[in-house]
Amino acid sequence: MDSSIEMPVWPQYDHREKELLLDVLESRKWWRMNGNKVDTFEKKFAEFCNAEYCIALTNGTHALELSLATLGIGKGDEVIVPAITFISTATAPIYNCATPVPVDCDPKTFCIIPEAIEKAITPKTKAIIPVHMAGQPCDMDRICEIAKKYNLRIIEDAAHAHGAEWKNKKIGTFGEFAIFSFQNGKIMTCGEGGAILTNSKELYDKAFLIHSVGRPKFDKVYKHLELGSNYRMSEFPAAILLAQLERLPEQNKLREKNAKILDNLLKPVEGITPQSTDERVTINTHYMYMFYYDELMFNGITREEFVQLLNDNGIPSYICFPIVSNTDFFKEGKFRSYLSKIDITNIQALPNAERMAKEVIWLPHYLLLGNEAFIKHIASVILKIKEKVLVSML
Ligand SMILES: *Cc1c(COP(=O)(O)O)cnc(C)c1O
């Protein structure tokens, strides 16, 4: 391998994480209620996203569950979600006794299709959870219009989109809530963590109570004003996130630059078609570099075999999420006491999602933090595999 090629690593850290972590350790204030790191992170993250309020949480899954609970969405309600997403987008409604309704995604941007949302609306529909897929913001103009027309709440699932922008406006304040994840693979991370943003004081106050077992901020007398759970973040992950946030804007820029370089290098490769960016998107955070893989152009080597070859050649890669309603627990109706059964025969046709679930491959975002030699190396590995499999056809 060319010596100028640097294989990027993830997660990244430097002296900032160390300083901030040590600060927490030595302060003996490890809990958000007596320390200041969680408070400071919430303030800085809200500012970064131009939002009024932030609550740091245990993880992104809890962030979705908390948002729905705060909005009072529950039994008998329907929540529209994209068919292709990480499972939590669809399980959070179930945990609140509501029914997730998966709809189709755009074959180019991989985001939920606004017209498909509109078609799925029934008198029971209460909310939409658009997912900014791989860091590409959804068409928030149309989604906000639809929400207004039918009086629906919006919870943006921005687990991939920290710092992304739709038409120069930061993702995170288009709806009642936006949720973020700081899990190990995400573009800023503390191992496990999450957050919600909102511009509503009333929703913030209620969400704060629910995330802290119903207790007001400085309660010392066991006051429980709401039914809640414990979704509080501790001071240690918040310390790491403060440092991660300082690095994020620069990393978002580098990923955009490198994604464009990789797009151009892969353009001539028949059988590889990358996710495309809507031209109204001003920042795409590229949490995943996603592309269709056509096995016919690779001598019948299956997608799974191709992913294995990429991994064998030092390029970490994965297959796309399944359609949420095609997961085992969903198909078998194992919803415990939450819902008796979701009638999956009622789900709209999902032809684009089916193709994505079958043909899409993704590379993790940190590969796009490599130097230019590494980006060229990714393309050359793909080309070399292609040459090899085509030669073996002769
Ligand atoms: C990662 C992710 C989540 C859940 O976040 P966790 O912190 O892992 O619980 C939710 N939605 C999407 C789209 C995700 O990718």
Q: Indicate whether residue 194 lines ligand 1 (CB < 6 A).
A: yes
**Cα 386 to middle of ligand 1, angstroms:** 33
Summarised one tens digit per residue, pLDDT across range 1-32 is 677 888 999 999 999 999 999 999 999 999 99
> Is 90 exceeded by the pLDDT of residue 187?
yes
Q: Indicate whether residue 135 lines ligand 1 (CB < 6 A).
A: no
Q: Indicate whether residue 86 lines ligand 1 (CB < 6 A).
A: yes
**Helix or strand run (H / E) with residue 351:** helix 351-359
Summarised one tens digit per residue, pLDDT across range 245-291 is 999 999 999 999 999 999 999 999 999 999 999 999 999 999 999 99
Query: What gap in Å lies between CA 196 and CA 51, rounded to an integer?
Result: 10
- Per-residue pLDDT, averaged over 368-390, amounts to 96
> Is residue 179 classed as helix, strand or coil in its secondary structure?
strand
Query: What gap in Å lies between CA 383 and CA 265, rounded to an integer?
Result: 10
Q: CA of 370: how far to CAs of 315, 330, 376, in Å? A: 12, 38, 10
Q: Indicate whether residue 91 lines ligand 1 (CB < 6 A).
A: no
| Atom 5 of ligand 1, residue of closest alpha carbon | 60
Q: Indicate whether residue 275 lines ligand 1 (CB < 6 A).
A: no
Res. 341 pLDDT band, cuts 50 70 90: low
Question: From the alpha carbon of 183, which atom of ligand 1 is closest?
Answer: 7
Summarised one tens digit per residue, pLDDT across range 293-318 is 999 999 999 999 999 999 999 999 99
**Cα 58 to middle of ligand 1, angstroms:** 11
pLDDT at 103: 97
Question: From the alpha carbon of 89, which atom of ligand 1 is closest?
Answer: 11
Answer yes or no: are the C-beta atoms of 279 and 139 closer than 8 Å. no
- Helix, strand, coil tally for the chain in percent (to 5): 40, 15, 40
Q: Which residues are catalytic?
A: 186
> Is 90 exceeded by the pLDDT of residue 338?
no
| Atom 6 of ligand 1, residue of closest alpha carbon | 60
Per the confidence metrics, is the pTM higher than 0.95?
A: yes
> Is 80 exceeded by the pLDDT of residue 173?
yes
**Cα 181 to middle of ligand 1, angstroms:** 6
Res. 340 pLDDT band, cuts 50 70 90: low
**Cα 6 to middle of ligand 1, angstroms:** 29
> Whole-number mean pLDDT of the chain?
95
**Cα 160 to middle of ligand 1, angstroms:** 8
Summarised one tens digit per residue, pLDDT across range 191-210 is 999 999 999 999 999 999 99
